[in-house]
Structure 1
Amino acid sequence: MDRSTRQAALLATAVAIPLAVIVVLLSFWRFSPDEPKAAPATSAPAPQATTPVTMTAPTLSPRATTLCRALLSQLPQALRDRAQRPVTAGTEQNAAYGDPAITLACGVPAPTFPQTDLVSLLDKVCWHDVVTPDATVLTTVDREVTIQVTVPKSYEAAGQWAIVFSNPIIETVPKLATPPAGCAGSA
């Protein structure tokens, strides 16, 4: 074999072997069976009482009744892993979730608080919160009808529980024409 033929053979081998390895690896990768995929993690409902949650039901104006019914029709069936529970009064204006119950009351009296108190804009809904020994009570201050969410102390980050209600509130309860100072970004 002459020298130029030998160099051509070596060059062909040097190119062919890496290409063959690449083809084999790609074939294994492409045609190997897929690994079984883990089932998506589902959040099992937290154990909770199923008895009705005691709530009051103040008399609502016809407009408030309409808005509260619209709001309740848009609420989720569960907050995270806390299922909705029945309420003792005002099924058209009250909702409860979990045990201890996180409650939502629509059509409550508007809160009165000093102008120096802070309000929180949570996902375009403006809330005033009051921390009690047992719960954090968040009340909307920028809506035509006032909504109150009570989050028991056993839950951390009360605002994160209330924020779940923001979209249903925005979709169903109009914003006040003149919301309080600090609520500029509410929808």
Structure 2
Amino acid sequence: MLAAAAGCADGARASVAAPSPPADEAALCRALHDALPRSVAGQERRDPEPASELTAGWGDAAIVLRCGVPRPERMSDPQAQGVEVDGVGWMLEEREEGPRFTTTYRRTYVEVTLDRRYLHDASPLTDLAGPVAGAVPSAL
């Protein structure tokens, strides 16, 4: 699903597969793309390749966002962990390479993957919650 390679000193960018959401969800993702901040958790914006309005990144692939992803299977698990940040619900998937968060109860799913620096730190979500809430309406 996500094929990210950390950026190298020579300026290489992460490679991230763009999702293929339906047209109405893609429109929400384009609005989100325009609203995303220039920095997240002190990491400057550095979008992955190939360029897409459905993906964004900060740092050397430390923080990667994909909009319009399919609903994660884990979301059906009543034991799934979640957090709420500034009114936006996120489902947490703990992974060895770093946590992955996916929005809940939004008209399209937004996925944020963090690298190992953020194993126990969801603070990057504070910079992303406002843009997500403003561009991707609640499904409730």
Q: TM-score range by the shorter chain?
A: 0.7 to 0.9
Once the two structures are aligned, what percentage of the paired residues are identical?
Answer: 27
Determine the structure 2 residue equivalent to 1:138: 101
Residues 30-53 of structure 1, C-alpha deviations (whole Å, 9 max, x = no match):
xxxxxxxxxxxxxxxxxx854322
Match of 1:93 in 2: 54
Q: Which amino acid aligns with 1:70?
A: A
**Residue aligning to 2:133:** 170
Give 2:15's aligned residue. 54
Runs of 4+ off more than 4 Å? none
Amino acid at match of 2:100: V
Cα root mean square deviation, aligned: 1.7
Q: TM-score scaled by structure 2?
A: 0.84
Report the Cα offset of residue 100 of structure 1.
4.2
Answering whether residue 88 of structure 2 is matched by residue 152 of structure 1, we say no
Contact 2:13/2:60 (CA < 8 Å) preserved in 1?
no
Amino acid aligned to 2:114: V
Counterparts of 1:111 and 1:59, CA distance in 2: 14
| Larger relative contact order (Cα-Cα within 8 Å, sequence gap ≥ 6) | 2
Summarize the Cα distance change of 1:100–1:173 in structure 2 as closer, same or farther, 3 Å threshold: closer
Q: Which residues of structure 1 form unaligned runs of 5+?
A: 1-47, 178-187
- Residue 119 of structure 1 and its aligned partner are, at CA, apart by 1.8
Q: Does the 8 Å contact 1:53/1:101 carry over to 2?
A: no
8 Å Cα contact 1:139/1:147 also seen in 2: yes
* Preserved contact between residue 151 and residue 158 of structure 1 (Cα < 8 Å): no
More strand by share: 2
How many equivalent pairs are there?
Answer: 130
Give me the whole-angstrom Cα distance separating, in 1, the residues matched to 2:71 and 2:123. Answer: 22
Q: 1:65 to 1:90 in 2, by over 3 A?
A: farther
Which of 22, 26, 30 in structure 2 is aligned with 1:69?
Answer: 30
